[in-house]
A and B are shown apart, each in its own frame.
Chain A
C-alpha cells in the first residue's frame, strides 16, 4: 500500500513539473458566460494556433470574483488577458495600475464612449439592463411596470447587488441620485418585500416560471428564457432617459509575459467577426463597433437605437467604489 502512496506522490510531483513547463498557453480570465465565450476562444485557438487557458467565474459572483482575483494576484500575476463581461471592474483595475495599454486594430473600430482614451481597456459587444416580465401576468409596457414597482414588491425579483451587472446598475443609480438616494431606494425595495436572488439567471428563472411577475435582469438572460419559449418580454431600464448599456471589456494584465499573444487575442475579440458571433449567439450581444447590421439578428438590431442613449460608464470609478463599500457594509458584515 505504501508503494501506491509513493506512486501517487511521484505522480503528483510529476504533474507539478508538467504544469510548470506549460507556459505556452495564454491565460484568460473570462467573466463572460462559459457557454458563449468558449466557442469564441476556441475559434481563436484554431485561427492562430495559440493555446488559450480560460478561467471562468461562478454565476453568483459574476465578474467581481475575477476582478478581485487579479488584484489578489497582482504581485505574481498569472492572468494575461481579462475578458470582463462589464466595464466598471476593468476601469477599477486600470485605476490600480494593473493593466497595460494597447491600441490595436480592434481598439480603432470601437466608438470613443466605450473605450479608455489611453487604451488600457476597450469595450465591445454590449447587453442591456432590462425589466423582464411574465407576459401571462403583466404586460411589458412602461405604465404597467411603473405601477407594479410602486406597490408591494413580493412578486418582483432582483439579484444581490454586490456583484455583476446589478452592481453596475446600482453604481449608475448612485451617480444619478447620489448615495443617499440610492440607499433610500434600496431600503424601499427591501421594505416592500422584493425577492433578492443570487444572480440574474435566477431572476429570469423566477419570472419565467411565473413565481414572480417582474424582475431586473440583462438581455442575455432574457434571451435564454425566450429560447426556452417562456412567456417573457423585456423593456430597457432607463435612468435620466438613458439606458444602462453594459459592454464586455478586454484588457492586458500588467506583467504579462505573453504580450504578443495577448495583443493578437485582443484584436480578435474586438473584431467585427467576434461582435457578429456574439450577436448571433444565444446571449445576443449588441455590437458596438462598425458591423454589417444586415447580418445582425433582428431581435438584436432593434436595440441598436440604444447605443446612442447609453449612460456613460467610463467615469464611474469613484461611484463604484462608494457603492461597493456601502454594499459590503450591508451584506458582508
Chain B
C-alpha cells in the first residue's frame, strides 16, 4: 500500500475514533463529575489507567490474541481501533472534566430555542452558529483535536498488531535506511494534516471572547441510573481490555519467569542497564519539560512568553516520529554532527515531546491550585515559628508539591516507554529498554520476554514510590530554607 493510501486509512480511522471518543468522553465526564464530589480515587484510577498502560504492552498482548484472526483482517482492525479508542478516551474525559463550562447559560439557550420561530435577529443563521459555537464547539473541538492527534500518531500498537499506519510505514522506511532527507519528504502529508487541524483550533480560539480555561467542575448534575450503569460498564470493559488482559498475559508469566531471567546474567545486565538509561532520560527530560512548562505558563507570565511557550508545543504536538526525524536531520547536519550520537540530541527531543503534555498537566494543576488551602498553607509555611513553618511546608507539599511530583513521574513514564525517539536518536549502548522490548516482541511470546517486560514496568513504578519520601523531605526542607531566607 502506498504512503498516500495508508495516510488516508489512518486519517479515516482517527476521524472515527476521535468522534466516538468525544461522544464517550463527554458522557463519561459526567460520571467523573459525580464521582469527583466523593473524591473517589478508585474512579480516577479506573478512568486513567487505560491511558497510562504503555502501548507497547497493550500492543504485544493483543498481537498474541489477534494472531489467530489473521484471516479476518476486519476483526483485527476492529480490535486495533477499539484499543486506540479505549486509550484516548481518558484524555477526553479529563479535558471535559476540567474544562470550563460553556459560556452560553442554559437560560440563554432556552431563550434562543424559543425565539427560533420568530423573525428576531437572535434566530438568524449567524446567531445560531454563534450559539452552537459557544455552546458546544468551544469545548468539543479542542478535545476532538487532541483525540484525533493521539489516534493519528499512534505507533507501537499498530506496529505490533500489523495494522496499516503512516507512522509504521515511515518508521520502517527510515529504519530500513531510506535517506533522512527522503524520509522527511514522506512526512509532508501527515504534517500538513496535523498542522491544519492545530491551526483550525487556533482559529477557533482566536474567535473566542475569552481564552479557554481549565476549571474544576462547579455544578454537578446527577446521572440517571441507566447512564450510570452504562458508564461503569464502559469503564470496566476499558480496564479489562487495556489493563487486565495485557497484564495477565505478561505479568503472571513474567513473575514466574523472573527466576530464569536472574539466572541469565547477560540478559539481566542488559535489561537493567537499559532500564537505568530509560529512567535517566525520563527523569531528566520530565523535570526539564515540567520546569519549562512552569516557566512559560505561570500565572503572571507575559503574553509573549506564553505565545513562545505555545510555539514550543508544536513539535511535540506533531508526534514523536516527526520530532525524532527532524531532530536526526538537524543533528546530522555539518555544524551539529558532533552532537549526533550523544544523549543531548535524545534529551532535547524528549523534552520537546513531553512539553505539550507537561503544559496540559500544568494547566490542569493551575486550576486545582487556585484555592484557599494553598494560600493558607503558604502563609503557615512562612510562619516565624519553626514548628509551624514545618507544618506549613508539609501542608504545601500535600496541596502543591505532591501533584508536581506525580506530574514529573507521569512525564518520565511516558518518556521511558517511548520507542521511536529512543530508537532513532539514542546513542549505541544507551538504548532504553522499550527499544529492546519492541524488537523482541516481534519474535512472539516467551517466558524471558515476559519477565523482561515485567521488570521494565516494575522498575520505574518501584523507583517512583522509593523516591517519593526522599523528594518530599528535600522539597519541604528546601522550601523551608527558602522561606526562612525570605523572612530574614
Contacts and interface: CB of A to CB of B under 8 A. Distances in A.
Interface of A: 1-2, 4-5, 8-9, 11-13, 15-16, 19-20, 25, 27, 34-35, 38-39, 42, 53-61, 64-65, 67-69, 71-72, 76, 78, 154-155, 157, 162-163, 195, 197-199, 201-202, 204-206, 208-212, 221, 224, 228, 332-333
Interface SS of chain A: helix
B342 A5 contact: no
Interface string B242-278: 0000000000000000000000001100100000000
B295 interface: yes
B429 A54 contact: yes
B159 A60 contact: yes
Contact of B291 (A1, A25, A162): A1
Contact of A72 (B177, B427, B440): B177
A59 B178 contact: no
Given A4-B291, A68-B177, A72-B180, A208 B444 contact: yes
Nearest to A208: B444
Contacts of A224: 443-444, 446
B428 A1 contact: no
Contact of B295 (A2, A38, A162, A221): A2
B326 to A, nearest CB: 16
Given A54-B428, A65-B176, A228-B446, A16 B295 contact: no
Interface string B112-123: 000000000000
B210 interface: no
B292 interface: yes
- Interface range on chain B (Cβ under 8 Å from partner): 35 or more
12 contacts: A4-B291, A38-B270, A56-B439, A57-B439, A58-B442, A60-B172, A61-B172, A64-B176, A72-B180, A195-B70, A210-B68, A212-B70
Given A12-B343, A201-B444, 13 more contacts: A4-B288, A5-B288, A8-B287, A11-B284, A53-B428, A58-B439, A61-B177, A72-B177, A155-B71, A157-B70, A202-B442, A205-B443, A333-B2
Given A1-B295, A60-B175, A211-B68, A12 B284 contact: yes
Nearest to A160: B172
A55 B71 CA distance: 36
Interface of B: 2-3, 67-71, 159, 162, 172-173, 175-180, 266-267, 270, 284, 287-288, 291-292, 294-295, 332, 337-339, 341-344, 347, 423, 427-429, 436, 438-440, 442-444, 446
B179 A16 contact: no
B178 A332 contact: yes
Nearest to A157: B70
Contacts of B343: 12, 15-16, 19
B214 to A, nearest CB: 20
* Interchain residue pairs A-B with the least CB separation, the first 8: A68-B177, A59-B442, A5-B291, A61-B175, A205-B444, A201-B443, A55-B428, A61-B176
Nearest to A43: B266
Contact of B173 (A4, A204, A332): A332
Contacts of A19: 341-343, 427
A162 B176 contact: yes
B162 A76 contact: no
Contacts of A27: 428
A20 B340 CA distance: 11
A42 B266 contact: yes
Contacts of B294: 1
Given A12-B344, A228-B446, A68 B428 contact: no
A154 B70 CA distance: 9
A197 B70 CA distance: 10
B67 A65 contact: no
B442 A12 contact: no
A333 B295 CA distance: 44
Contact of A211 (B70, B291, B423, B427): B70
A65 B178 CA distance: 8
Given A68-B178, A72-B179, A53 B291 contact: no
A198 B291 contact: no
B341 A78 contact: yes
B165 to A, nearest CB: 12
Nearest to B446: A228
B413 to A, nearest CB: 17
A211 B71 contact: yes
Given A4-B287, A15-B343, A198-B162, A58 B178 contact: no
A67 B177 CA distance: 7
A16 B291 contact: no
A15 B343 CA distance: 7
Given A1-B294, A54-B428, A206 B70 contact: yes
Given A58-B439, A59-B443, A76 B175 contact: no
B284 A35 contact: no
Contacts of B70: 157, 195, 206, 211-212
Contacts of A202: 162, 442, 444
A154 B72 CA distance: 11
Contacts of A204: 444
Nearest to A79: B428
A85 to B, nearest CB: 13
Contacts of B347: 12, 15
